[in-house]
Amino acid sequence: MKILIAPNAFKGSIEADEAAEIIQKAILSRKPEIETILCPIADGGDGTCFLLGKALGLKETKAMALDALGRPLEGFYFFDEKKRTAYIDVSTASGIKSLKNTEKNPWIASTYGTGILIKKALESGADHIVLGLGGSATIDLGLGILRGLGYLFLDEKGREVPVFTENYFKKIKHIQGPVPKPKVRFTCLCDVNNYFFGKEGAIPVFGPQKGLQVPEFKEFELSCSGILKILSQKKGITLEDQESFGAAGGIAFGLSYFFPVEIQMGASWFFEKVDLTSKISRADLIITGEGRYDSQSSGGKGSFELLRLAKKLRKNTVLITSGEGGKSDGFSDIIRIPDLDFSKNNIQKRAKENLMNAVENYFLN
């Protein structure tokens, strides 16, 4: 029997590549005769470009950057020299996972650190950036990235407004572009199709998890609208809000004023790059999983998109997840893992133990 092990990340506890190795170890501890194929998956969420870089065998380049609040950290990107394409996750430098709950503040948080990594990739010879949008700590419309690429944001007196300034948006009145303008195009990978504005937009849906309070929604939205007017005046164009502009705090929205931007739903794009169809075809059974499969999972998340692809190839798929989700979507079986209390210590250690135990028990028969 041949099993394809293709989990997504278990958000907040286990990265996808770690989860794949744990599942493989658990299976082989019970059924050593089984042949396994490992292909951890991503859907545009946190770590998508990391997995792509590893799967494609690309060179990893480390570089110093800044986190979402301006503190130094070591970032990285993967570079395909032949295609002049760099793969960068927004979460690497500007991720919410590096912030404590008390530090989350979209009035200050910036994608500037991601802009630093992009600039370094361009200096290495890249002219195409694949940007994984998942896991950001920001709602800055990509202004931090633009600042990293040389755009200056000025106050009413023509003085630069420093990034990581409180109420950054409110202080910006003018934009000064770099000379020469960087020659780069972007492919933005995402796992959500939310617009930037509206009831299901970036501010009400993703704002709270990034530290924005409900009473602040209207004020923050007005600040964003003001920035978009300034971007429109600078370029002499008006861009309409569209699907996925709400991903990662509007990064694709802001970048689209100055650069060619293509938006792709991450799962299908990732699957094509790693030739997942071929791997599914060679397997007798597929095992996938994520931390908590819920109603959002069928909107483009990796496990559901993998299930859809496996069904087309008439392969059975087992889901590993916590909670009660997944029953009605067509998985051949579901392995339940315990819910985690994220207020307690050693979350990652307990999550890995839970995953190992659940898979071992499943393969006892």
pLDDT single digits (tens) 201-245:
999 999 999 999 999 999 999 999 999 999 999 999 999 999 999
What DSSP element (H or E) covers 263?
strand 261-265
Q: Is 155 left (phi over 0), alpha (psi -120 to 50) or beta?
A: beta
pLDDT one-digit tens code per residue, 142-173: 999 999 999 999 999 999 999 999 999 999 99
CB 91 within 8 A of CB 136: yes
Q: Tell me whether domains 2-41+275-362 and 48-267 share a fold.
A: no
194 has pLDDT over 80: yes
Report yes or no: 141 and 261 within 8 Å, Cβ to Cβ.
no
What is the b/e burial string over 135-151, where b = at least 16 CB atoms within 10 angstroms of the residue's CB?
bbbbbbbbbbbbbbbeb
In contact, 230 and 141? CB cutoff 8 Å: no
Distance between alpha carbon 363 and the CA centroid of its chain, in Å?
Answer: 32
DSSP code at position 22: H
Q: Given a cut of 80, is residue 343 above it in pLDDT?
A: no
Decide if pLDDT at 12 tops 80.
Answer: no
Banded model confidence at residue 270, pLDDT cuts 50, 70, 90: very high
Chain segment 50-70, per-residue pLDDT in tens: 999 999 999 999 999 999 999
Look at residue 340 in the predicted model and tell me its pLDDT.
82
pLDDT higher than 80, residue 187 = yes
**Dihedral Cα 270, 78, 140, 142, nearest 10 deg:** -90
Q: What is the CATH number of domain 48-267?
A: 3.90.1510.10
What fold is seen in the domain 2-41+275-362? Rossmann fold (3.40.50)
Tokens for 364, please give them. Answer: 């006892």
Convert the pLDDT of each residue in 283-315 to its tens digit: 999 999 999 888 777 777 899 999 999 999 999
- How is the chain split into domains, by residue range? 2-41+275-362, 48-267
Could you tell me the two tokens for 54?
A: 């590893």
Asked if residues 18 and 56 have their Cβ atoms less than 8 Å apart, the reply is no
Residue 315: both structure tokens together: 């392969």
